[in-house]
Amino acid sequence: MDHGARDEVLRRLAEAVGSVTVAHPMRVAIDGPPAAGKTTLADELGVVLRARDRDVIRATIDDFLFPRAQRYPRGEYSAEGCYFDTHDYDALNRVLLDPLGPGGDRRFRHAVYDRTTDTTLSPPVTTAPADAVLLFDGVFLMRPELIDRWDLRIFVSTALEKTVDRAVIRERQVSTRAEVERRWRERYIPSQQFYFAAVRPTDHVDVIVHNDDPQQPVWEARTR
């Protein structure tokens, strides 16, 4: 198996991180549809950056969900609910993105919620080194509540139809194919289509990683 193309994309992403100079920890958004490969890419980029002696903070939107009882006022399969009712952006800005940003005290929490137990979390506050890099993966990261918080913006792009097949494989231990397909086709894919129509996220990013074939990702630099 040829890992060359993927290694090259990771090298270029690490160089993009290295080329940004800010006087506070650097906040990197890794946006994209569910099952596009964001988490894997962020984890791998973290390995590359740590090998270059950068202090890496890894966090994900999945740790900034509202409790389950609050997430489904419009129903479990609502695409609008997925976009509007799922994530606690106030908490995300308050405990993570703003403390790491300009004028912040660098004292942050990387999570407020545990999805597996549906409980709120209050992990200990950590102080980030000034040259740390936050790699934050998640859906909808270019939306108005967050767009100004990022120092580098990456979008992991995959044909939405491909995400269904990946999700079925990824979730086969916990969900039937029919359940996964229904969730993707009724909730996740329409919510992404809504996001694209409302926000045009790829117009706001610095780099698109086309990840239809994870072994052969394609780099696209954007000018904004």
Cα dihedral sign for 167, 220, 53, 29?
A: negative
- Indicate the pTM of the whole model: 0.94
Residue 16, domain extent: 4-221
Q: Tell me: pLDDT of 166 over 90.
A: no
Query: Across all residues in the chain, what is the average pLDDT?
Result: 94
Q: What is the CATH number of the domain that holds 210?
A: 3.40.50.300
Rounded Cα distance, 168 and 175, in Å: 8
What integer is the mean pLDDT of 83-89?
97
Number of domains comprising the chain: 1
Contact in structure between 209 and 152 (CB atoms under 8 Å): no
Least Cα distance to 184 among 36, 55, 70 occurs for 36
Residue 164 pLDDT: 85
pLDDT digits (tens, 9 = 90+) for 169-210: 888 888 888 888 998 999 999 999 999 999 999 999 999 999
In the predicted model, is pLDDT for residue 1 greater than 60? no
- Check the CA dihedral 77-81-86-87 and report its sign: positive
Tokens found for residue 191: 């919510």
d(CA 42, CA 60): 10
Give the model's pLDDT for residue 222: 87
Distance CA(154)–CA(7), nearest Å, equals 16
Structural tokens at position 119: 């409980």
How does pLDDT run across 90-138, given as a tens digit for each residue? 999 999 999 999 999 999 999 999 999 999 999 999 999 999 999 999 9
CB–CB of 37/9 below 8 Å? no
Q: Would you state the pLDDT for residue 224?
A: 62
Percent of the chain with pLDDT over 90: 84
Determine the Cα–Cα distance for residues 135 and 56; give it in Å rounded to an integer: 7
Which pLDDT score, from 0 to 100, does residue 2 have? 53
Query: Rounded distance, CA 21 to CA 3, Å?
Result: 30
Q: What is the pLDDT of residue 193?
A: 96
**pLDDT > 70: percent of the chain:** 99
pLDDT greater than 70 at residue 52: yes
DSSP assignment of 46-73? HHHHHHTT--EEEEEGGGGBPPHHHH-T
Neighbours of 136 (CB within 10 A): 27
